[in-house]
Amino acid sequence: MEAMGDRIARELLCGGTAVFVSAAHRFGTDAMLLSRFCRVRRAERACDLGSGCGIIPLRWHDGGHRGPALAVELQPEAAALLRRGLEEPDAAGERPGGHITALCADLRSVEWKARPDAGLYDVVSCNPPYFTGGFVSTKPGRAAARHQITCTTADVARTAAVLLRDGGRLCLCGRPAALGQTMADCVNAGLQPKRLRLVRQRADAGSLPWLFLLDARKAGGVGLQLLPDLIMESPQGGFSDEVLEIYGKKKPDEE
């Protein structure tokens, strides 16, 4: 991480793509896992809702995605970080802004059906606010990122249903306690859950899932594939081989 003044820092992904973050607008493990779970192909049209600093579309770019991408973010400060990342050349000298567009807007107020790209997206992703109760931060940015103040999973599912083509996918993550409601929100919007993966810290039986990754398909048939759990830690300690690969780091025996 390279410090940029008192508030902003520059992080480099494994392919040299820059991500700008601040104390209020950062990214975590869930966004890293979700970006890989989406399986966005090179030329697909993709959209990230609630993009924050843009980590998910920037990771797609870092992994080779070059199709049209829309990054929607409500908060101007976060959108400014995203736009800064779009103008920063990667290791090959290519700017992500060549195919990624930042849109600073409330997804609930956009007239999605009136857009020329409505119904054309292959993939929509969202790392939504998780919490509906409990302590709410007094900092507006953090509160909106953590609590369902500005949007709910139902809002996300309805928006995705308009943006996606038939067969297109909404990929999102959340806390396991919200899985049932999230699936119901998807089905109510016409998105059928097709892939589900739970994330656990360790492989032992006492380590309960702390995150789910869900793929729901527009106009898809009934049939849910339950994938093997993603284990964060190796038995020897540290990240598991799969997590190291997701993060773009070498395995211990390759260093």
Q: Compute the average pLDDT of residues 50-62.
A: 97
Tell me the mean pLDDT in the region 97-119. 97
Q: What is the mean pLDDT of the chain?
A: 90
pLDDT reported for residue 129: 84
Beta-carbon contacts of residue 124 (< 8 Å; ≥ 6 apart): 46, 47, 48, 49, 159, 160, 163, 164, 168, 169, 170, 171
Q: What is the pLDDT of residue 255?
A: 38
Q: Flag whether pLDDT at 2 surpasses 80.
A: no
When pLDDT is cut at 50, 70 and 90, the band that residue 33 belongs to is very high
Burial class from Cβ neighbours inside 10 Å (0-12, 13-18, 19+) for residue 97 reads: middle
Total H helices, total E strands in the chain: 7, 12
* Average pLDDT of the segment spanning 140-151: 50
Q: Phi and psi dihedrals of 62, rounded to 5?
A: -60, -30
pLDDT computed for residue 111 by the predictor: 97
d(CA 90, CA 147): 33
Tell me what the mean pLDDT of segment 2-11 comes to: 69
**Does the pLDDT of residue 131 top 70, yes or no?**
no
Q: Which pLDDT value is given to residue 130? A: 63
Q: Span 53-66, mean pLDDT?
A: 97
Q: To the nearest 5 percent, what fractions of the chain are helix, strand and coil?
A: 30, 30, 40
Q: Please give the domain boundaries of the chain with CATH numbers for all domains.
A: 2-254 (3.40.50.150)
- Residue 74 in this model has a pLDDT that exceeds 60: yes
pLDDT at 61 over 90: yes
**pTM for the predicted model, two decimal places:** 0.89
Mean pLDDT of the 166-186 span = 97
Residue 254's pLDDT is 46
- Which long-range contacts does 27-31 make (Cβ < 8 Å, 24+ apart)? 27/52, 27/53, 27/55, 29/232, 30/127, 30/173, 30/211, 31/55, 31/56, 31/59, 31/127
- Residue 250 pLDDT more than 60? no
For position 149, what pLDDT does the model report?
Answer: 58
Residue 5 confidence (pLDDT): 43
pLDDT band at 207 (very low <50, low <70, confident <90, very high): very high
Instruction: Check if the beta carbon of residue 193 is closer than 8 Å to that of residue 224.
Output: yes
* Cα separations in angstroms, 132 against 127, 136, 139, 175, 180: 15, 9, 16, 12, 15
Q: What CA–CA distance (Å, rounded) separates 50 from 47?
A: 10
